[in-house]
Chain A
Amino acid sequence: MSDVAISTSGVRKVYDGGTVALDGVSIDLMDGEWTSIVGPSGSGKTTLLNILSCLDSPTDGQVDIEGTAVTGMRQDRLTRFRKEHIGLVFQQYHLVSYLTALENVMMAQYFHSKVDGAAAEAALEEVGLGHRKLHLPSQLSGGEQQRVCIARALVNEPSILLADEPTGNLDQENGRNVLELIGKLQEQGMTVIMVTHNPDIAAMGDRTIEIIDGKVSSDHRTKDV
């Protein structure tokens, strides 16, 4: 039986102006599992991902990540916790345009602890971009940029990978490559939580949680563990 990687209890998020984005979300995400979070636009799935990645705090409720209660942590402590435990993959990659692929990966090392050029190159090799390390983001295809983004998320060896629509901006082939890469990472033991609105991609995970109007609408296994 797997341990719980992330546990939420009664998580509620109300934005300024009274919009309720999440309304009592209680879920347990298991260590080493790939969980897909699906739902229509505005359902609250990205808000949930932001809270799980410590980029945002819930208005109410409790979030425990790998046994640590992160709710109510001060901002700097939350930032430190995030860089120790979580890797982030964005739909729009968010690479720094004036830094090379290698430097983008090294920047994550710099903000984590210390820069290790060999480890950064190894991370790029792992995503199949060793030969493109000195290219600027503008010289890379969308798929390559997303792989740099994944390398940047991996380089500090987090235990949890949170991905927000990682294939949203990619064509089919590049999307498949990125998903294969994520699948490989999960096989290596990483917990993967991915927000997507594509049911086919969601089905690649072990479990799918559907959010509608800020609530868990359905939670079912897509694969047997």
Chain B
Amino acid sequence: MLMRILGKSLARRRGRIAIAIVSVVMGAAVATALMAVSMDIEEQVSAEFRQYGANLIVVPQSDTIDVGFPGVDFGSVTEQGYIEEADLWKIKRISWRNNVLGFAPFLYQVVSAKSASATSNLVMAGTYFERDVAIEDTYAPEDPGVVTTGISYINPLWRAKGKWIEAPDDEASAMVGTEVASKMNVGIGDMMTLTYIPNGDDRANSTSCDVTIVGIVETGGNEDNQVFVNLQVAQGMSGREGKVHTVQVSALCTGCPVDTFAQEIEGEIDYVEARTVKQLVSAEMATLENFEAMMAMVTVVAMAASILGVTTTMTTSVIERRKEIGLMKSLGAERGRITTLFLIEAAVIGVIGGIIGFLVGVFLARMIGLSVFDTAVATNIILLPVAIGVSVAVAVLASIPPVRRAMQVEPAVVLRGE
């Protein structure tokens, strides 16, 4: 009977109920859009974090020289710097050394690659796959003198078909990214010739090596377009013995500031800069934080408008239905029954408003994603029950003052036959 009263009552007052639903839709749509954008963009940023694998990048400090005449600025040139391979052990000499899970140096150069069926320029990265590094001067006497490290330690999430290059002295094997394998039309076991031409065109001094592909790497990032060889292969081909461009460091940092790791590494190797990956995606994070702050404010305003809208509508409804409420009371409806009737009505408004608000919010999130972050935002379906829950809470909360008003209706007064 309750549902029959409720259904017919709602149907009869559908115009007014529609206004209340629109009020709820506003709040639910903005809240859904905020949550959808936040969740999706954060997920995308997290994915970027994961692509790095490491959470610290060590690069050499670069000297930037301004070029031009007094008063005429031609810009600046930056000299390419290197990190000495011989200094890498110092990364394990910081006070947080036990939290450093591993590190891997990288030396990059563009090489000409030739397979049986294709030729192309590629980025070759020389690195440690799995290597024992001697700690020349340990931080504490009990620290081990040798640590094993390499990209297989810092990038456990990389998916590799075939196998990793295990032997540190293996100069005849290479791993390639999936894009390289596809572009060069090569698979595991195939040969490829890598040629380094100094300065881009100094073919007389070019160096080559033949490598067998032992593994194919897929990370979803830049690595998919690179060829990986043991560090000394890259150093030997380019004549940069003992040099590396960057070092990726994987620091286990639950409850400790990763910025401290960076400072300590810079203290141990005084010519490097250590940047956290968080800093590298700071622009996106800052945009997201600003967006979240703005949307939070808009959500609060929209929610307040929703509450106001529902309260006004429900209050009008109570005033219009004073006789009906009085009649119900005269027929024996206790306070609980009447409260239940109005709160279920509010909940129905909340559920309908929440569902429509969710759909509008999905559309809003897409628009915001495309216009602010230049990316398509995917909405998690988990937000649907959240939107409904929030909307029901808003509608019920907004109905409390009108319900109190309904409680004060005196049947003797409203049913008076005079």
List residues of A whose CB falls within 8 A of some B CB.
Answer: 41, 46, 50, 53, 55-56, 75-76, 79-80, 82-84, 88, 90-92, 94, 96-99, 103, 106-112, 115, 152, 156, 164-165, 168
Kindly name the residue among A53, A90, A92, A98 whose own CB sees the greatest number of chain B CB atoms within 10 A: A98
Contacts of A56 in B (CB 8 A): 410, 412
Between A and B, 29 residue pairs with Cβ closer than 8 Å are A46-B417, A50-B412, A55-B410, A55-B412, A55-B415, A56-B410, A79-B332, A82-B332, A83-B331, A88-B330, A90-B417, A91-B417, A92-B417, A94-B330, A94-B415, A96-B5, A96-B324, A98-B9, A98-B11, A99-B5, A103-B1, A103-B4, A106-B1, A110-B2, A111-B337, A115-B1, A152-B331, A156-B332, A165-B417
Is there contact, CB below 8 Å, between A79 and B417?
A: no
- In the assembled complex, the CB of A30 is this many whole angstroms from the nearest CB of chain B, namely 24
Chain B interface secondary structure, helix, strand, loop or mixed? helix
* Contact A55-B411, Cβ < 8 Å, known A76-B334, A94-B327, A112-B332: yes
Kindly name the residue among A80, A99, A165 whose own CB sees the greatest number of chain B CB atoms within 10 A: A99
Q: B265-291 vs A: 1/0 string, CB under 8 Å?
A: 000000000000000000000000000
- In the assembled complex, the CB of B26 is this many whole angstroms from the nearest CB of chain A, namely 28
Contacts of A46 in B (CB 8 A): 416-418
Asked if B372 is at the interface (CB within 8 A of a chain A CB), the reply is: no
Contacts of A88 in B (CB 8 A): 330-331
Is there contact, CB below 8 Å, between A107 and B417?
A: no
Is there contact, CB below 8 Å, between A164 and B417?
A: yes
Given contacts A79-B333, A96-B327, 13 further A-B contacts (CB under 8 A): A46-B416, A50-B412, A56-B412, A82-B330, A91-B417, A94-B330, A97-B12, A99-B4, A99-B5, A103-B8, A115-B1, A165-B417, A168-B417
Contacts of A82 in B (CB 8 A): 330, 332
* Contact A41-B5, Cβ < 8 Å, known A76-B334, A111-B332: no
List residues of B whose CB falls within 8 A of some A CB.
Answer: 1-2, 4-5, 8-9, 11-12, 323-324, 326-335, 337, 410-412, 415-418
Measured in the bound complex, the distance between the Cα atoms of B326 and A82 in whole Å is 14
Contacts of A107 in B (CB 8 A): 1, 5, 328, 331
Is there contact, CB below 8 Å, between B8 and A83?
A: no
Measured in the bound complex, the distance between the Cα atoms of B231 and A88 in whole Å is 97
Contacts of B327 in A (CB 8 A): 94, 96
* Contact A110-B1, Cβ < 8 Å, known A79-B329, A80-B332: yes
Residue of chain B at shortest CB distance from A168: B417
Is there contact, CB below 8 Å, between A98 and B2?
A: no
In the complex, the number of residue pairs spanning A and B with C-beta atoms less than 8 Å apart equals 78
Contacts of A98 in B (CB 8 A): 8-9, 11-12
Residue of chain B at shortest CB distance from A57: B412
Residue of chain A at shortest CB distance from B335: A76
Measured in the bound complex, the distance between the Cα atoms of B412 and A50 in whole Å is 6
Contacts of A106 in B (CB 8 A): 1
Residue of chain A at shortest CB distance from B324: A96
Residue of chain A at shortest CB distance from B417: A91
Measured in the bound complex, the distance between the Cα atoms of B245 and A152 in whole Å is 91
Contacts of B335 in A (CB 8 A): 75-76
Measured in the bound complex, the distance between the Cα atoms of B418 and A109 in whole Å is 27
- In the assembled complex, the CB of B123 is this many whole angstroms from the nearest CB of chain A, namely 74
- In the assembled complex, the CB of B228 is this many whole angstroms from the nearest CB of chain A, namely 75
Measured in the bound complex, the distance between the Cα atoms of B11 and A135 in whole Å is 17
Is there contact, CB below 8 Å, between B417 and A111?
A: no
Is there contact, CB below 8 Å, between B334 and A80?
A: yes
Measured in the bound complex, the distance between the Cα atoms of B335 and A75 in whole Å is 9
Is there contact, CB below 8 Å, between A111 and B416?
A: no
* Contact A41-B331, Cβ < 8 Å, known A99-B5, A103-B4: no
Is there contact, CB below 8 Å, between A99 and B331?
A: no
* Contact A108-B417, Cβ < 8 Å, known A55-B411, A98-B8, A99-B8: no
Contacts of A91 in B (CB 8 A): 417
Contacts of B331 in A (CB 8 A): 83, 88, 107-108, 111-112, 152
A-B CB proximity, top 10 nearest: A83-B332, A91-B417, A110-B1, A55-B412, A50-B412, A56-B412, A111-B333, A111-B332, A98-B12, A98-B8
- In the assembled complex, the CB of A63 is this many whole angstroms from the nearest CB of chain B, namely 14
- In the assembled complex, the CB of A113 is this many whole angstroms from the nearest CB of chain B, namely 9
Measured in the bound complex, the distance between the Cα atoms of B323 and A211 in whole Å is 27
Residue of chain A at shortest CB distance from B2: A110
- In the assembled complex, the CB of B322 is this many whole angstroms from the nearest CB of chain A, namely 11
Contacts of A112 in B (CB 8 A): 331-332
Measured in the bound complex, the distance between the Cα atoms of B2 and A53 in whole Å is 25
Contacts of A165 in B (CB 8 A): 417
Measured in the bound complex, the distance between the Cα atoms of B77 and A212 in whole Å is 109
Kindly name the residue among A53, A111, A164 whose own CB sees the greatest number of chain B CB atoms within 10 A: A111
- In the assembled complex, the CB of B351 is this many whole angstroms from the nearest CB of chain A, namely 21
- In the assembled complex, the CB of B418 is this many whole angstroms from the nearest CB of chain A, namely 7
Contacts of B410 in A (CB 8 A): 55-56
Residue of chain A at shortest CB distance from B327: A94
Measured in the bound complex, the distance between the Cα atoms of B326 and A53 in whole Å is 14
Contacts of A55 in B (CB 8 A): 330, 410-412, 415
